Amino acid sequence: MRTQRRIRVIVNPAAGSGRGMRALKRSGLLDSRYDGVSLEIVESRSPEHLRDVVRASEEDDIDALGLAGGDGTVAIALGALNGVNRVPIGILPSGSGNDFAAHIGVPASIPGAIAVLLHGSVRHVDVASAAPSGARYCCVATVGLDEVALGFIHRSPFPRSKALNIVSVLRALAVYRQRPAKITWEGGAFEGEIMFAAVTNTRSYGGGFKISPSAIIDDGVLDVCIVRRTGRLRLISQFPRVLAGTHGSMPEVLFASSPWVRIEGLPEQLPVALDGELPQWTTPTELRCQPGALRVLTPNGEMN
């Protein structure tokens, strides 16, 4: 019989352009000893290695699995899970975007996040899947403007950060060409030229872009934000409202919620991006909420 709880922590050294790994090492918290806990640290060598460790952890005799990284790290881990995970996951937010961790109430500080990993309560939260690829995501799927912005971000010599995300979006606004699309959901549809469309699981993404301020992560539906065709200068002038989550009253903005959302390009298909990564495929795509599909550790069962 085991006398200690076993907790494994997977550290993504690439998260936050390496800043997260450095912060974890400086904290010394992963090298500390905790009463009644056996802490095992695994540094991932690649996305596939990270998925392999997640799969193995589901079969191992461990009590919790920590993920030290950002939203991209969570999305990678989701790719290794089939159905609801047996081992609850605790997030140590150390990426350039930590919106998923923030939404489930995990403190931004490493000491606070470690406390949740050690002592938190298990909650079931939603994630989403994208057909036909079968990929899963924790925060957002986007078409439109993000395609251009993500190109700037991933080609930038600067480390990923919220500031880089903001600059890249503003640069993208200057060159983006509106695209016609058809977006359908339970009880509604939109057809026309769009600047941007996001299908979200969380309120924010990209390090705090509050694109769906009313989103709830365990309500069994996804939230849709569509920005219809409008002038570039107007969008640039209104951009602070997107950051603050007060853009809902803009006439160009349409909100909806649904357990599923289908996006088609008309007639040209649109690249689809998940959780801030470069697009890997194009529309048509159907995005579906997977209610309660992820068991996570939250502070005393509370979420923001």
**pLDDT tens per residue across span 7-49:** 999 998 877 666 767 777 777 776 778 888 999 999 999 999 9
Give the model's pLDDT for residue 87.
Answer: 98
Return d(Cα 54, Cα 57) in angstroms, integer. 5
Q: Are 293 and 126 in contact (CB under 8 A)?
A: yes
Band of pLDDT at residue 3, cut at 50, 70 and 90: confident
Give domain 5-127+293-301's CATH superfamily. Probable inorganic polyphosphate/atp-NAD kinase; domain 1 (3.40.50.10330)
Return d(Cα 286, Cα 267) in angstroms, integer. 17
The SS3 call for residue 208 is coil
Kindly give the pairing relationship between strand 135-137 and strand 121-131.
Answer: antiparallel
Is the pLDDT at 166 greater than 80, yes or no?
yes
Ranges in the chain annotated CATH 3.40.50.10330: 5-127+293-301
> Which class is domain 136-291?
mainly beta
Average pLDDT value for residue range 72-85: 94
Band of pLDDT at residue 62, cut at 50, 70 and 90: very high
Side-chain half-sphere CA neighbours of 162 within 13 A: 11
What mean pLDDT, rounded, does the chain reach?
A: 92
Ranges in the chain annotated CATH 2.60.200.40: 136-291
At position 25, the amino acid (one-letter code) is K
Give the model's pLDDT for residue 225.
Answer: 97
Q: Are 197 and 226 in contact (CB under 8 A)?
A: yes
Burial degree of 235 (CB within 10 A; 0-12, 13-18, 19+): buried
**The residue count for the chain:** 304
- DSSP H helices, the chain, are 19-27, 47-59, 71-78, 99-103, 110-119, 145-155, 162-175, 232-244
Question: What are 263-304's pLDDT values in tens digits?
Answer: 999 999 999 999 988 998 999 999 999 999 999 999 975 666
What is the enclosing helix (H) or strand (E) of 91? strand 89-93
